[in-house]
Structure 1
Amino acid sequence: MLTDIQLVFIILALTILCFLTPRFRSDMVALSSLMALYLTGLLTVQEALSGFANSVVIMIAALFVVGEGIFQTGLAERAGNLLVKHTGNSEFKMTIFMMLLVALLSGFISNTGTIAIFIPMVVSFCRKMQIHPGKLLMPLAFTSSMGGTLTLIGTAPNLLASQTLVDYGYDSLKFVSFTAIGAIVLVVGITYLWFIGRKMLDRPHENDAHSANQSEDIDLLKEYNISQYIHHINIPEGFEDEGKTLRDIKWRSVYNITVLEVIRKPAKKQFLLPKSTLRFLPGADYSPKSGDYLIVYGHKEAIYKLIEDKGVEITEENDSGDFMLEKARLAEVILTPQSAFINQSIEDIRFRDKYDLTILALKHQYKDARRPDQNEMLLYGDTMLVYGEWKDINLLHEEKRDTVVLSHVRKPAAALPHPGRSFLAGLILIWMIFMMVFEVLPTVITVIMTALIIVFTRCVRQTDHAYRSINWHTIILIACMLPMATALEKTGGIEYISERLVAGLGDVGPLAVMAGLYIIASVFSQFISNTATAVLLYPVAIMTSQNLVVSPYPMVMAVAFAASMAFATPVATPPNAMVMAAGKYKFMDFMRVGAPVQLITAIFIILFLPIFFPF
Structure 2
Amino acid sequence: MVVVFAITLLAFGLFATERVPVDVTALIVMVALMVLEPWTRISVEEGVAGFSNSATITVLAMFILSAGVSRTGAVQRLGARMATFAGDNERRQLLSVISVAGLPSGVLNNTPIVAMLIPAVSDLAREGGTSPSKLLIPLSYASMVGGMLTLIGTSTNLVASDVSARLLGRPFSMFEFTALGAIVFLTGAGYLLLVGHRLIPERIEATDGLLAEYEMGEYLTEVVVTDGSPLVGRPVETVDGAFPADVAVVRLLRDGREVDDSTAETSIDDGDTLIVRARPDRIQRLISTQGLSITPTDVSEAALDDSSDGAAGGPGEGSRDSDPVCGPRTLVELVVPTGSSFVGERMTGTPLEREYDVDLLSVRRGNDLLHRRIEGLVLDRGDTLLVHAPTATLERMAADPNVIVARELPNREYRRAKLPLAVGIVLGVVGLAALGVLDILVAALGGVVAMVLGGVLKPDELYDAVEWDVIFLLAGLIPLGTAFTETGAATLIGGLVAESAVYLPALGVLWVFYVITALTTAVVSNAGSVVLLVPVGVATAAEIGANPFAFVLAVTFAASADFMTPIGYQTNLLVYGPGGYRFTDYTRVGAPLQIVLSVVTVLGIATLWGI
TM-score, normalised via structure 1 length: 0.86
Could you tell me how far 1:439 is from its partner in structure 2?
1.1
Distance 1:522 1:385 in 2: 34
- In the alignment, which residue of structure 1 is the partner of 2:141? 142
> 5+ unaligned residues in a row in structure 1: which ranges?
211-215, 264-271, 283-287
State whether residues 261 and 280 of structure 1, in contact with CA within 8 Å, keep that contact through their aligned partners in structure 2: no
Aligned: 1:44 with 2:17: no
1:9 to 5, 17, 22: 5
- In the alignment, which residue of structure 2 is the partner of 1:598? 594
Distance 2:258 2:278 in 1: 28
SS of the equivalent of 2:10 reads helix
2:441 to 444, 447, 455: 444
Q: 1:299 to 1:182 in 2, by over 3 A?
A: same
- In the alignment, which residue of structure 1 is the partner of 2:421? 424
Could you tell me how far 1:281 is from its partner in structure 2?
11
> 5+ unaligned residues in a row in structure 2: which ranges?
313-328
Could you tell me how far 1:224 is from its partner in structure 2?
3.6
Distance 1:320 1:603 in 2: 50
1:302 to 271, 276, 282: 282
Aligned: 1:476 with 2:456: no
Query: How big is each residue's C-alpha offset from its partner over 1:130-169, in whole Å with a ceiling of 9 and x where there is no partner?
Result: 1111112111111111011111111122112221122124
Distance 2:50 2:301 in 1: 65
- In the alignment, which residue of structure 1 is the partner of 2:432? 435
Moved more, 553-562 or 225-234: 225-234
Query: How big is each residue's C-alpha offset from its partner over 1:30-65, in whole Å with a ceiling of 9 and x where there is no partner?
Result: 111111122223222112111111111111111111
Query: How big is each residue's C-alpha offset from its partner over 1:475-511, in whole Å with a ceiling of 9 and x where there is no partner?
Result: 1100110111122222221111111122332663432
SS of the equivalent of 1:92 reads helix
Query: How big is each residue's C-alpha offset from its partner over 1:429-460, in whole Å with a ceiling of 9 and x where there is no partner?
Result: 11111112111111111111111111111111
- In the alignment, which residue of structure 2 is the partner of 1:80? 79
Query: How big is each residue's C-alpha offset from its partner over 1:528-554, in whole Å with a ceiling of 9 and x where there is no partner?
Result: 210001000111112222333433211
Distance 2:427 2:455 in 1: 17
Aligned: 1:403 with 2:408: no
Q: 1:277 to 1:386 in 2, by over 3 A?
A: closer
Aligned: 1:585 with 2:586: no
State whether residues 365 and 577 of structure 2, in contact with CA within 8 Å, keep that contact through their aligned partners in structure 1: no
Q: 1:588 to 1:174 in 2, by over 3 A?
A: same
Distance 1:93 1:482 in 2: 42
Kindly provide the amino acid, as one letter, of the partner of residue 142 in structure 1: Y
Q: 1:585 to 1:444 in 2, by over 3 A?
A: same
Distance 1:239 1:129 in 2: 43
Q: 1:191 to 1:533 in 2, by over 3 A?
A: same
Q: 1:614 to 1:319 in 2, by over 3 A?
A: closer
Distance 1:417 1:112 in 2: 21
Kindly provide the amino acid, as one letter, of the partner of residue 303 in structure 1: I
Q: 1:566 to 1:204 in 2, by over 3 A?
A: closer
Aligned: 1:225 with 2:216: yes
- 1:177-326 to structure 2, matched below 5 A, reads 177-203=176-202, 206=205, 208=207, 216=209, 218-220=211-213, 223-232=214-223, 234=225, 251-252=244-245, 256-259=246-249, 279=261, 296-307=276-287, 310=289, 312-316=291-295, 325-326=310-311
Distance 1:259 1:121 in 2: 27
- 1:548-567 to structure 2, matched below 5 A, reads 548-567=544-563
Q: 1:377 to 1:175 in 2, by over 3 A?
A: same
Distance 1:597 1:276 in 2: 45
Distance 1:89 1:59 in 2: 41
Aligned: 1:363 with 2:342: no
Could you tell me how far 1:379 is from its partner in structure 2?
1.0
Aligned: 1:129 with 2:120: no
State whether residues 237 and 291 of structure 1, in contact with CA within 8 Å, keep that contact through their aligned partners in structure 2: no
- In the alignment, which residue of structure 1 is the partner of 2:390? 389
Could you tell me how far 1:386 is from its partner in structure 2?
0.8
Could you tell me how far 1:340 is from its partner in structure 2?
1.7
Q: 1:343 to 1:322 in 2, by over 3 A?
A: closer
- In the alignment, which residue of structure 2 is the partner of 1:57? 56
- In the alignment, which residue of structure 1 is the partner of 2:572? 576
Kindly provide the amino acid, as one letter, of the partner of residue 569 in structure 1: T
- In the alignment, which residue of structure 1 is the partner of 2:332? 331
- In the alignment, which residue of structure 2 is the partner of 1:508? 504
State whether residues 99 and 190 of structure 1, in contact with CA within 8 Å, keep that contact through their aligned partners in structure 2: yes
Moved more, 554-563 or 151-160: 151-160
- In the alignment, which residue of structure 2 is the partner of 1:269? none
SS of the equivalent of 1:522 reads helix
- In the alignment, which residue of structure 1 is the partner of 2:162? 163
Q: CA RMSD in A?
A: 3.3
Kindly provide the amino acid, as one letter, of the partner of residue 191 in structure 2: Y
Could you tell me how far 1:123 is from its partner in structure 2?
1.4
Query: How big is each residue's C-alpha offset from its partner over 1:243-268, in whole Å with a ceiling of 9 and x where there is no partner?
Result: 9x99999944xxx43455789xxxxx
Could you tell me how far 1:360 is from its partner in structure 2?
1.3
